[in-house]
Amino acid sequence: MKYLLTPLFLIIFVGFFLAQGNLQFNQAKIISNTDPPQTVPAGKVWKIESVFTAGDQDVYGVQTSGTTLSLFPACGVPSFYYLYSGRYLAINNIPISFGIHNAGEQMTNLPIWVPAGSNICTCTNSGLCARGYSVIEFNIIP
């Protein structure tokens, strides 16, 4: 009996905790780079659909010289040498570029799913920062 119940219990237990939530559309949001840092609310998930370019530039080269910069002081991201320019956001204190490298590669592919409790920080440096981003907010439902 023990040998029968143990796998059964394991299947139920693992299934319960690995079950994926269902989503319900809640709202679309556009966040500007002058808005304060955003935290994904509890019970929600954000899907970043688009990251806006800082200006007319969309393709960025590698910086060959420069110094470390502190682009996200509001989020406590440490000073960093930004080797690749363009369209940065910081998600959970990790600076991420959404620009297109001059070799033709997208630095980070969209969409990005951001779980509840995560922090998204913008910056305002015209050469390095995203102008803003758009998200779809979903409710997580059973």
Partner 1 sequence: MRKLFSFFLLIWAGTTFAQDTSFVKSAYGGSSLTVPEGVSWKIEKAYINGGDGYNILVSNSNFKPIYGPGEKLQTPYYMAEMELLDKKDGVFYILYIRQHNNK
Q: Tell me the C-alpha distance between 7 and 34, whole Å.
A: 53
Residue type, 21: G
Q: Tell me the C-alpha distance between 104 and 115, whole Å.
A: 29
Q: Tell me the C-alpha distance between 64 and 66, whole Å.
A: 7
Closest distance of CB 7 from partner 1, Å: 24
Whether 20 contacts 115, CB under 8 Å = no
Indicate the residue among 7 and 142 with the shorter CB distance to partner 1.
142
Closest distance of CB 42 from partner 1, Å: 18
Closest distance of CB 44 from partner 1, Å: 13
Indicate the residue among 24 and 126 with the shorter CB distance to partner 1.
24
Closest distance of CB 57 from partner 1, Å: 27
Which spans of this chain sit near partner 1 (rule: CB under 8 A)? 20-25, 111, 136, 138, 141
Q: Given strand 38-39, what is the order of strands in its sheet?
A: 38-39, 119-121, 88-91, 94-97
Indicate the residue among 75 and 136 with the shorter CB distance to partner 1.
136
Cross-strand bridge partners of residue 50 = 134
What the block records as the tokens of 125 is 């440096």
Indicate the residue among 107 and 136 with the shorter CB distance to partner 1.
136
